[in-house]
Amino acid sequence: MPNLPPTRPGPEAAPRNDPDPRNPRVAVLPNPDDIDAVPLRHPWRWVVAVLLLLVFAGVAVSLWQNDNVNHPTISEFIFDRRILDGVVLTLVLTIVSMAVSTVLAVLLAVMRLSNNPVMNALSWLYIWAFRGTPLLIQIVFWGYLGLLYARITLGIPFTDFSLFSVDTNTLIPAFVAGLLALTLNQAAYSAEIVRAGMLSVDEGQYEAAYSVGMSPTFTLFKVVLPQAMRVIIPPMGNETISMLKNTSLLSVIAVLEVYTVATQISSQNLRQVELLVVVSCWYLLLTSVLSIPQYYLERHYGRGNARTLPPTPLSRVRAILRPAPRPADPIRADAS
Amino acid sequence: MTDTTRVTPSAGVDQTGPTASALNAESVGAPPLLSAHKVRKSFGAAPVLKGISLDVAAGQVMCLLGPSGSGKSTFLRCINHLERIDGGRISVDGELIGYAARHGRIFEMNRREVAKQRGGIGMVFQRFNLFPHMTALENITVAPIGVRGLAKPAALARGRELLDRVGLADLAQSYPAQLSGGQQQRVAIARALAMDPKLLLFDEPTSALDPELVGDVLDVMRALAADGMTMVVVTHEIGFARGAADEVVFMDGGIVVESGSPASVLDHPQNPRTKAFLDSVM
Ligand SMILES: Nc1ncnc2c1ncn2[C@@H]1O[C@H](COP(=O)(O)OP(=O)(O)OP(=O)(O)O)[C@@H](O)[C@H]1O
Ligand SMILES: [Mg+2]
């Protein structure tokens, strides 16, 4: 029982509510069922909040009044056709590379955890190579693959037989090269996340699955991965946001995503800062939008663990607009 | 049956081993449903099972007793091939576990064949091991639908019937985290039953439960025994062993020390190790 302000003992006070002579701070309640207490105050929260507001306001005003930033340029280009096309391409690159790399990652993680030594080594080698070299270099590599192999040929190695043979630059335009680079690199990172998720599943789950006659593959898809998802999704949300921003690296091989487009425009009108503001706004918007599906995925895979479900963005907004009374608080500060 | 009969898992075929026809014609009369012969298993250099031989006839209940570390769980896990045995052999309903006889020779089973064989042997675990992302009913129906290819409506009907049988008809849509330990274990029993196993293995099914929940689970197990289910039960519940078992086996140090009827083993143990163990748990 918390320490309470002393009050007069009521006539109906039960014996257990009598003041303890050894501890005068323990007091009796007027109503033995409810506690009527002064709520805990948080004065420092207010001080810090006010200070922060002042700092933000100062920064915002100085940016707004900076003569080197031309505001009409920002509003002119934020919905420019070329910028919008770049935004769409950025989004497509992010979604496609995340989707394909996740499938690859599951494959790599399963290979890494299998007791087949060949698969195991192959997966290790892949992760080692693609995680160990900078993404920027991998992008340039795929972009300039034509310099390494002028033609790509599908056939039987060490013979003259070939099924087809195409010019590398025709088969792999900049967009495909960029997609390839992002996907293959991401797969190496995601593989480790998926592996961690799979390792988080209890050994007893495999035994139970095998004991009812499930094959290893069925067990993987029906028992292990759905449980691993709970552990996999939060870091994968992070990876999706990094991926969105990493697409800007594709400017080095001239893929027309939003940042490339912005640099092309600013090289003509010399409004570098304004166009950086434009793309930053778009990146912020996209990262915010992309984090919405995460909540729903977490809720979906959190079923059966009802106690830890995070609120959806919608219910968060609702909570801000209409704060619910704090439930299960043992001390009723506003008791009448 | 000779001492040289031995299946070597890694080396493939042992020419002196049993042939397909010899396997089924070993014993006279009704063949045992479960037959373990000189089963040996080591983890690294440490031998855990040092030659376990026992038979369980169809419809019989065998209780395995023994101190911690005596290899009871390991033996159960060997019966449904969750562990490979190093020597000896186990057969259930005349089929060698983990090995198939073809053209008079013995081959190690592939993963698909092992999975199919396991479907005929149910197992109930100490820690329940229900699938936490599935409701009670889904836990029971996932294998019949996904492994046996049973139609969904039939599987659901059978699942509800099994839940009713373990006394949980109204908890079909609950997730394991919303169930008490005793309820979870009864769902786990229903899950094992859903595959219509020939043999049910229980590994200390009540030792993770609060005392007041033990009775419900034991009641379900007694009902199964009365219905003629063949069961091998590792337990420390001496009362259950006395009432429900047809045979009690006491294991220690990886060997069978003593076996016989519940009355003889539990009330008149011959071996001092059995006596010491029974004194400690009763
Ligand atoms: N996977 C494993 N790797 C190494 N040693 C193991 C493994 N599984 C079991 N053991 C060892 O084998 C021995 C027998 O274990 P087992 O679990 O079969 O005993 P048990 O009779 O079931 O004991 P308990 O009553 O405590 O459950 C123990 O010494 C244990 O440490
Ligand atoms: Mg055990």
- Subunit contact A215:B121, Cβ cutoff 8 A: no
Interface test with A, best of B92, B111, B131 (most A CBs within 10 A): B131
- Choose the residue to mutate in B68, B74, B85, B233 for probing ligand 1, maximizing ligand atoms within 8 Å of C-beta: B74
pLDDT at B107 over 80: yes
Which pLDDT band, with edges at 50, 70 and 90, does B15 fall under?
A: very low
Q: Return the percentage of chain A with pLDDT > 70, whole number.
A: 84
Question: What mean pLDDT is reported for chain A?
Answer: 84
Count Cβ neighbours within 10 Å for each residue of B214-227 and write b for 16 or more, e otherwise.
bebbbebbeebbee
Mean pLDDT throughout B186-215?
A: 93
Q: What was the pLDDT predicted at A68?
A: 82
Q: What was the pLDDT predicted at A311?
A: 67
Which pLDDT band, with edges at 50, 70 and 90, does A306 fall under?
A: low
Which pLDDT band, with edges at 50, 70 and 90, does A28 fall under?
A: low
d(CA A286, CA A83): 14
Which pLDDT band, with edges at 50, 70 and 90, does A2 fall under?
A: very low
Which pLDDT band, with edges at 50, 70 and 90, does A41 fall under?
A: confident
**Two tokens, residue B281:** 């748990």
Mean pLDDT throughout B94-109?
A: 87
Mean pLDDT throughout B250-264?
A: 92
Q: What was the pLDDT predicted at A331?
A: 44
How many separate helices (H) and strands (E) can be counted in chain A? 14, 2
Determine what percent of chain A falls in helix, strand and coil, rounding each to the nearest 5: 65, 5, 30
Q: Read out DSSP for B147-214?
A: TT---HHHHHHHHHHHHHHTT-GGGTT--GGGS-HHHHHHHHHHHHHTT--SEEEEESTTTTS-HHHH
pLDDT by residue (tens digit) across A271-290?
Answer: 888 999 999 999 999 999 98
CA of B48 to the centre of ligand 1 (A): 7
Q: What was the pLDDT predicted at A326?
A: 52
pLDDT by residue (tens digit) across A131-187?
Answer: 999 999 999 999 888 777 777 777 787 777 777 777 777 777 889 999 999 999 999
pLDDT by residue (tens digit) across A75-105?
Answer: 888 899 999 999 999 999 999 999 999 999 9
- Subunit contact B175:A304, Cβ cutoff 8 A: yes
ipTM of the complex: 0.87
Closest by CA to A85, choosing from A267, A261, A282, is: A261
Residue B218 contacts residue B240 (beta carbons within 8 Å):
yes
Q: What was the pLDDT predicted at B9?
A: 43
pLDDT at B207 over 80: yes
Q: Which ligand is nearest to the CA of B66?
A: 1
Measured between beta carbons, the chain B residues lying within 8 angstroms of A213 are 115-120, 143, 147-148, 195
Tokens 């594709």, residue? A250
- Subunit contact A227:B132, Cβ cutoff 8 A: yes
d(CA A59, CA B280): 76
Mean pLDDT throughout A217-222?
A: 94
CA of B41 to the centre of ligand 2 (A): 15
Q: What was the pLDDT predicted at A220?
A: 95
- Which residues are within 8 A (CB) of A26 and not within 5 positions of it... i.e. 6 or more apart? A1, A3, A4, A19, A20
d(CA B4, CA A326): 73
Q: Which ligand is nearest to the CA of B49?
A: 1
Residue B145 contacts residue B152 (beta carbons within 8 Å):
yes
CA distance B206 to chain A (A): 16
DSSP-assigned beta bridge partners for residue B230 = B199
Q: What was the pLDDT predicted at A13?
A: 44
**Two tokens, residue B47:** 């031998």
Which pLDDT band, with edges at 50, 70 and 90, does A298 fall under?
A: confident
Which pLDDT band, with edges at 50, 70 and 90, does B94 fall under?
A: confident
Q: Return the percentage of chain B with pLDDT > 70, whole number.
A: 90
pLDDT at B281 over 50: yes
pLDDT by residue (tens digit) across B113-163?
Answer: 899 999 999 999 999 999 999 999 999 999 999 999 999 999 999 999 999
pLDDT at B85 over 70: yes
pLDDT at A14 over 70: no
CA of B47 to the centre of ligand 1 (A): 10
pLDDT at B100 over 90: no
* B195 vs A213, A301, A304: nearest CB: A213
Q: What was the pLDDT predicted at A30?
A: 61
Q: What was the pLDDT predicted at A313?
A: 66
Q: Does B123 touch chain A (CB under 8 A)?
A: yes
Question: What mean pLDDT is reported for chain B?
Answer: 87
Closest by CA to B43, choosing from B9, B79, B74, B10, is: B74
Lowest mean pLDDT among A129-143, B6-20, B76-90: B6-20
Measured between beta carbons, the chain A residues lying within 8 angstroms of B130 are 208
User: Quick one: which H or E segment has residue A50?
Assistant: helix A43-64
